[in-house]
Structure 1
């Protein structure tokens, strides 16, 4: 029996990934005052627990939407047709809670997002979207 690499052993177990922009504008109190920017990431990590990793990214080049969160589908979600969902103006804890609940329910491709997240969703150019995928 040939051992399998961890990546090929359980591809369907790959969870959603959540990326929080913390570049030039996102995370900047001068651009978005009154928000605990560092605390956002910590609260999102606590809310998600082991359901999905949360990572901070350099500028995602959509500064007019600060603060930006991108939810990438799990392997199962992608197989079901899910694609990354870009959320902008995520500047309050209620939005973070809705994002966390959606990801815990399965995220893109597997669960419908809470309706209010439609107000946060936006479409990025292919150039910007490809940069996050790589």
Structure 2
């Protein structure tokens, strides 16, 4: 088990009512997103699925939480919406392999995916 001081980044992929639903977002291989992230990240981050994160208009939603070192350096969770293509997954993985929130600047293209959510919604997934 990873100690608290060396805890890696954590990625939460919404798989609730709208995220991961091919009827809502056709043409996306939803079932491949989580395995693709896990393979691309290796030990750089833990990837988990979540029930609905209540940001359905932004499906597919991914939340990137900083590592322990990233949090100590001031990193905060980053919410990304409309993550519906492999290029976005590749950009997320590259950022996390470089250190993620607090330790590495995200690729500029991820600014297009960054969303702001209410405190109530954030509390559902953040520590």
What is the TM-score with the length of structure 2 in the denominator? 0.96
Q: Distance in 2 between matches of 1:14 and 1:72?
A: 11
State the 1:133 CA deviation.
1.9
- How many angstroms does 1:131 deviate by? 1.1
Question: After TM superposition, which residue ranges in structure 1, 4 or more long, deviate above 3 angstroms?
Answer: none
Unaligned runs of 5+ in 2: none
RMSD value over aligned CA atoms?
Answer: 1.2
Matches within 5 A, 1:25-36: 25-36=18-29
Q: Structure 1 length normalisation: TM-score?
A: 0.91
Query: Following TM superposition, by how much is the alpha carbon of 1:12 offset from its aligned partner in structure 2, in angstroms?
Result: 2.3
- How far, CA to CA, are the matches of 1:88 and 1:76 in structure 2? 25
Select which of 17, 26, 32 maps to 1:24: 17
Q: Does 1:46 align with 2:39?
A: yes
Unpaired runs of at least 5, structure 1: 1-5
Match of residue 3 from structure 1: none
Answering whether residue 11 of structure 2 is matched by residue 15 of structure 1, we say no
Number of residue-to-residue matches in the alignment: 127
2:79 maps to which of 68, 73, 86? 86
Distance 1:124 1:32 in 2: 21
Structure 1 SS opposite 2:125: helix
Partners of 1:101 and 1:117 lie apart in 2 by 11
Q: Which has the larger radius of gyration?
A: 1
